[in-house]
């Protein structure tokens, strides 16, 4: 059974820092891995999707990587800003309607 873990559960950094959020999964037989952002009490906003055949995806200051063999994905945020404060979730997709989510990393960027 797929398990997705995100470490750390919470992170607080000063503005301007580059940071890395981690996502690990136990079953490497995935179709893709998706990163989301969730603001308090709100829905999920899709940030990046990495297909299983890809190694990384970039969007603006965000870069996500995928290493299926080690069961890991990272989300790199460059030059963090207070507006980046949110909870970041990763989800693996293994087909047959199976999206498995991690519990998220709660990020706070201090001005």
Partner 1 sequence: ETGVTQTPRHLVMGMTNKKSLKCEQHLGHNAMYWYKQSAKKPLELMFVYSLEERVENNSVPSRFSPECPNSSHLFLHLHTLQPEDSALYLCASSQVVAGPHNEQFFGPGTRLTVL
Q: Of residues 4, 21, 66, 77, which one binds partner 1 by CB under 8 A? A: 4
- Contact between residue 13 and residue 110 where contact means Cβ atoms under 8 Å apart: yes
The candidate with the shortest Cα–Cα distance to 10, out of 100, 88, 78, 81, is: 88
* By CB under 8 A, residue 31 contacts partner 1: yes
Q: Which of the ranges 11-19, 31-39, 56-64, 77-85 carries the binding residues for partner 1, by CB under 8 A?
A: 31-39
Least separation in angstroms between residue 74's CB and partner 1 is: 19
Judged by CB under 8 A, does residue 28 bind partner 1?
no
Does 89 bind partner 1 (CB under 8 A)? Our answer is yes
Q: Is there binding between residue 36 and partner 1 (CB under 8 A)?
A: yes
Asked if 91 and 102 touch (Cβ cutoff 8 Å), the reply is: yes
24: nearest Cα among 10, 8, 48: 8
């Amino acid at each position: 059974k797929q398990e997705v873990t995100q470490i750390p559960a919470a992170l607080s950094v000063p503005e301007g820092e580059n940071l890395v959020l981690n996502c690990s999964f136990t079953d490497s037989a995935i179709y893709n891995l998706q990163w989301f952002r969730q603001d308090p009490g709100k829905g999920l906003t899709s940030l990046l999707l990495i297909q299983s055949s890809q190694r990384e995806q970039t969007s603006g200051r965000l870069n996500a990587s995928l290493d299926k063999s080690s069961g890991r994905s990272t989300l790199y945020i460059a030059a963090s800003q207070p507006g980046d404060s949110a909870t970041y979730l990763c989800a693996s997709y293994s087909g047959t309607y199976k999206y498995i989510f991690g519990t998220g990393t709660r990020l706070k960027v201090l001005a």
